[in-house]
Structure 1
Amino acid sequence: VFVFTQEIFSSSVEERNLITNSPAILVEALNKPNVNLISTGGELKQEFNIFGGNWVNEFLENLNIDAAFISAAGISSNLDITTNNKDLAVILETIFKKAKEINLLIDSTKFYKAGMLSIASISDCRRVITDKEISEEVKAILIKETELII
């Protein structure tokens, strides 16, 4: 996620809105030009380094989201996007309802590693963005379901 965030900050797009529930991304984005930075607010969940709770979902419910870039704890063997945190699961479910396009940022070590809670299917994502260490087997499965960017 941080590599992707750096790409956003260095892109030549004149102005962009960045909405995040990550305190780490907020700190990273301070003083970046051409970024309209918006925090979801909410309760700080230190174990996962996110803002969560009802406030976040109420905030997200009122937004029109063109494209969302999300991450997850893992992808199960039946291609479900999963997490281990209930607050994050509710946030991601809201994003899946509200966003026109979902982009999943996930490293290759998280395939076939399921978290406790399923959020959505990989086929609900417009694209999956991962690293070059992805196996040929997983690659072949993913390109049947969605766009894959390595």
Structure 2
Amino acid sequence: MIKVKRKVQIRDNRRGRRRQDSRDQPDVPSGRIPRISRLMALAIKFDGLITTGIITDRSELARLAHVTQPRMTQIMNLLNLAPDIQEELLFLPRVTSGRDPVHERMLRPLTAQASWKKQRKMWLGIMTNCQIAHRR
């Protein structure tokens, strides 16, 4: 039998860890992402899943997402909005306190409107009522 004698230094990970300076970390924006922004992102993701064939239809998607088929339709109807409105929804300012200024229910008349020109006009009215700065 062979015996090896060697000094081993065991370092405690808690003390050996380098302390991060707050200046090294990027600034994390305060507040939360509005719910309508998350729903818009979900609608885009769900559409991609259906387009690629990973999910066969909205019924299967509703089952997998644990929501009703009508609710899935409401979420997917956000894709009927003009592309610039979709972009604005995705980049709405963070909510720091209180309720979200824009709700999915407010957008239902827009999603039912086929004309993007009329949608944009209605969207400007919503943005004015909610007192949100328009990005253009």
**Which structure features the higher share of helix residues?**
2
Q: What TM-score do the two structures reach when normalised by structure 1?
A: 0.23
Larger radius of gyration: 2
**Higher RCO (CA 8 Å, separation ≥ 6 residues):** 2
**Which structure features the higher share of strand residues?**
1
